[in-house]
Amino acid sequence: MTELRKRGGGGGDPDTADNISDKEAESDDRLGLPGDGEGEGDVDSKTDAPDVPVSTADTDNTPECLNKALKGLPPRKRRHSGHTALQQRGRAARWKNYWIRGLLSICMISGFFLIIYMGPITLIFVVMCVQIKCFHEIITIGYRVYRSYELPWFRTLSWYFLICVNYFFYGETVADYFGALVRREVPLQFLARYHRFISFTLYLAGFCMFVLSLVKKHYRLQFYMFAWTHVTLLIVVTQSHLVIQNLFEGMIWFIVPISIVICNDIMAYLFGFFFGRTPLIKLSPKKTWEGFIGGFFPTVVFGFLLAYLLSQFQYFVCPVEFNSDTNRFMVECEPSDLFVLQEYTLPAAVQSTLRWKTVTLYPFQIHSIFLSSFASIIGPFGGFFASGFKRAFKIKDFANTIPGHGGIMDRFDCQYLMATFTHVYIGSFVRGPNPSKVLQQLLMLQPEQQLGIFHTLHSHLQERGLLPPAAVQAE
């Protein structure tokens, strides 16, 4: 449950909604957290001052079985007789919390492996569910902040906009990747040709409904919720579609970035737990420089090894393609140069230390170094952003979906930047445009334009020696 201190005053007066100034933080004294609001707002809780009792609120959703299993866990350090009973109970609760978090982490990671095994369609489906849940979590926070439950239409409109934007993006993806299927079915062809117009019309209908739903005393609330919905859509939906496009590039481009971010989270947590001393940023007082740097190096190594492991399998490496004959997805291909072992000559400095002249690597492993660096250095800013957001709206977690961890959004906040970066990285450094899409566009041009392009391409290929010069007479 997101704990939000209820403000007094009626819900009808739109102006009081803005009175949530941050000055109210002084009098905010919830859950026994330190009064200056700097309590545990982010999920990577490192060890802090030992006397802070752990909030028991988030064990409310722990499943019964876990509770039973962990009931017997004895409080540790009983031999330190100097500590009070409260501290002992606090410590017991804290160890219980750690166990729950650990168990759930392992559960989530196993779930991740399971859905990878089940294939691309399941992955797309899961990404969509995650997106809908994240959207729901953020919108619910908006409703709470603005107390807009009673506003007419608004919940309907938010979900309607979500459907519109998803329709737009999925339509663009489907048209790209399922080109052959679309050309076969006539209704799909019509939808694909006028896709942008249809999406725009749907969006406009929502926009007009919004304007018509403006109610006299609630204008400001309604505009806020409108903006909140749009910003949420911008963040959540666009990134989830970038994730799906990365997926179509090859499942390795989906698995490696996500695993790297997870590894960085865990490694930074562990390093901070054991060696943490210097605070990193005022926003998340439990993050430390030792955790940050300690997370960087293991993540790079982990990414390197994982890339090596996964590059060998066609299942992960090949672009996901839709086979129109069998009507299913297939991942079979000739691996591209990126996934073929190559020899690299080591620079002289490394040569003298290791006494190897060359090393055989997949080029993808070099790329994975960049991905890992991004995940460790810039990725945490996504987490800080989410911490700041939770701090700003005085919530502890986005929701309480995952016991011990918070909501789905809490787990995915660092992933969003990573997904966008991977997509931009692929677009800039790895792949060119999609050939079937280019062909599709070619066939839509005017005949004279097609002829012009034909001749340009013809001379270009001749120049590069790909076409025998005498074979085709230039017109």
Partner 1 sequence: MTEVRHRGAKDGEPPLEQQPSEDKGSDSELKAEKDAVSDNESKVDSGVPEVPVSADDTPEVLNKALSGLSSRWKNWWVRGILTLAMISFFFIIIYLGPMVLMMIVLCVQIKCFQEIITIGYSVYHSYDLPWFRTLSWYFLLCVNYFFYGETVTDYFFTLVQREEPLRILSKYHRFISFALYLTGFCMFVLSLVKKHYRLQFYMFGWTHVTLLIVVTQSHLIIHNLFEGMIWFIVPISCVICNDIMAYMFGFFFGRTPLIKLSPKKTWEGFIGGLFSTIVFGIMLSYVMAGVRYFVCPVEFNNDSNSFQVDCEPSDLFQLQDYTLPGVLESVTGWTTVRLYPFQIHSIALSSFASIVGPFGGFFASGFKRAFKIKDFANTIPGHGGIMDRFDCQYLMATFVNVYIASFIRGPNPSKVIQQLLALRPDQQLYIFHSLKAHLTEKGLLPAVEAAA
Residues 375-394, interacting with partner 1 (CB under 8 A): 378, 381, 384-385, 388-389, 391-393
Q: Which stretch binds partner 1 (CB under 8 A): 58-66, 246-254, 358-366, 448-456?
A: 448-456
CB 342 within 8 A of CB 362: yes
The whole-angstrom distance between residue 109's C-alpha and the CA centroid of its chain comes to: 15
Q: Of 456, 459, 463, 469, which one interacts with partner 1 (CB under 8 A)?
A: 456
Q: Name the residue nearer to partner 1 (CB basis): 104 or 225.
A: 225
Spatial separation of the C-alpha atoms in residues 16 and 353, rounded to whole Å: 67
Say whether residue 10 binds partner 1 (CB under 8 A). no
Say whether residue 236 binds partner 1 (CB under 8 A). no
Residue 165-194 contact track with partner 1, rule CB under 8 A, x = bound: ----------------------------xx
Q: Of 452, 459, 463, 469, which one interacts with partner 1 (CB under 8 A)?
A: 452
Q: Of 219, 274, 344, 356, which one interacts with partner 1 (CB under 8 A)?
A: 219
Q: Which two tokens stand for residue 438?
A: 């280019």
Q: Of 3, 4, 20, 52, which one interacts with partner 1 (CB under 8 A)?
A: 20
CB 34 within 8 A of CB 52: yes
Q: Which two tokens stand for residue 245?
A: 């496009």
Q: Of 110, 189, 345, 449, which one interacts with partner 1 (CB under 8 A)?
A: 449
Shortest gap between Cβ of 55 and partner 1 (angstroms)? 20
CB 94 within 8 A of CB 54: yes
Q: Of 450, 459, 463, 469, which one interacts with partner 1 (CB under 8 A)?
A: 450
Residue 266-305 contact track with partner 1, rule CB under 8 A, x = bound: ---------------xxx----------------------
Shortest gap between Cβ of 301 and partner 1 (angstroms)? 24
CA distances from 260 to 127, 265, 284, 456 (A): 18, 9, 21, 44
Say whether residue 451 binds partner 1 (CB under 8 A). yes
- CA torsion through residues 118, 123, 128, 132, sign: positive
Q: Which of 24, 31, 43, 37 is nearest to 3 (CA)?
A: 31
DSSP 8-state assignment for residue 218: G
H helices within 276-407, ranges in order? 289-310, 314-317, 348-354, 363-377, 379-392
Q: Of 444, 459, 463, 469, which one interacts with partner 1 (CB under 8 A)?
A: 444
